[in-house]
Amino acid sequence: MSTTTRRTTTEVLEGIDLGGEVILITGGSTGLGFETARALGAAGASVMITARTEEKGEDAIARLRALVPTGDFSYEILELGSLDSVRAAATDIRRRLPRIDVLIANAGIMAVPFGRTEDGFELQFGTNHLGHFVLIGRLLPSLLLASPSRIVLLSSAGHGMGDIIWDDPNFAGTEYSKMEAYGQSKTANILHAVELERRHGPRGIHAVAVHPGMVATELGRHFTAEDFADIAARAAAAAKASKPARRGTKGGSSGGGLDLVQPDVGAATTVWAATAAELEGRGGLYLADCAEATAAPYATDPDAAARLWALSEDLVGETFA
């Protein structure tokens, strides 16, 4: 991220009234999701977050209401690593939120040791992509009812660390690399946005992917000093290989930097993606620093996006029209 283009969530939302907007944010109990919820709630939106447990949900809502006493906040329990939980949450969310103006797929994990989800998927691919794939697919009717609506998927410049491992996305036989697995999951987030836009953009549901920067949150709690050195080298290489697609009024970047920012800066591009008038009617984009940016070619290839959709449907055993 460029030091000259950093904006905060408060600056992005200055003068914007979100009264009447219904926004769903996954993973809103801490970090970027919590700050995103706070900022959008302070601007007048009705915000539902998801949390992994009732305790985390209750605690987050209490903290949000303390910060925004006039805010309208609620929560839903969601464990992205369990498709049973995802499907149950989607059913309840549709009951509680017949209309969703903005869905922000914020929740995720990063560079974790090898593990599998409840359904047997590699932990990062299963949590960061497949869980959201099913959730979004099942919530499309609520997004359609609110059309024009938006889907914001949190990706990362870390997508440069790995393309989709098409013949072994769940590392059944491939030697596990937590960085490559993370990169694969973040590439999947961008491809998901590309295919969502192709399928549903004409119906008024527009999807984008966002790079928030390297943010000082608990997301990187599994990182070692060697991991930070590794991701710094990979991010620098990815930044050198790609340039911004188009600069906004404040500038844009490919999002290759490693310097840590605070959540109110890290969440700014998410908030901008959810509300910016200049993005109205547009999607299939990769955003960083509150502007359009360039992702790796394999992450925006429409054929790869369609292929990932088909693979994802096959893996979860569910199709979405």
CA dist., res. 49 & res. 64, Å (int) = 11
Angle formed at CA 37 by CA 235 and CA 219, multiple of 5 degrees: 35
**Full DSSP string of 179-199:** HHHHHHHHHHHHHHHHHHHHH
Q: Specify whether 155 is catalytic.
A: yes
- Please choose, from the candidates 108, 134, 115, the residue with its C-alpha nearest in 3D space to the C-alpha of residue 52: 108
Q: How do the residues of the chain divide into helix, strand and coil, expressed in percent and rounded to 5?
A: 45, 15, 40
Q: Specify whether 186 is catalytic.
A: yes
Catalytic residue among 29, 186, 242, 286: 186
CA dist., res. 81 & res. 122, Å (int) = 10
Q: Specify whether 243 is catalytic.
A: no
Element counts in the chain: helices (H) and strands (E): 12, 10
CB count within 10 Å of CB 250 equals 16
Pair of tokens at residue 135? 């959730």
Catalytic residue among 46, 142, 155, 312: 155
CA dist., res. 66 & res. 58, Å (int) = 12
CA dist., res. 260 & res. 287, Å (int) = 18
Task: State the residue for tokens 């995802």.
Answer: 86
Instruction: Decide if 23 contacts 100 (C-beta within 8 A).
Output: yes
Spatial CB neighbours of 134, under 8 Å, sequence gap ≥ 6: 83, 86, 87, 90, 316, 318
> How would you label 19-33 residue by residue, b for 16+ Cβ within 10 Å and e otherwise?
eebbbbbbbbbbbbb
Treating both helix axes as pointing N-terminal to C-terminal, what angle do 83-96 and 131-145 enclose, rounded to 10 degrees? 10
Cite the active site residues: 155, 182, 186
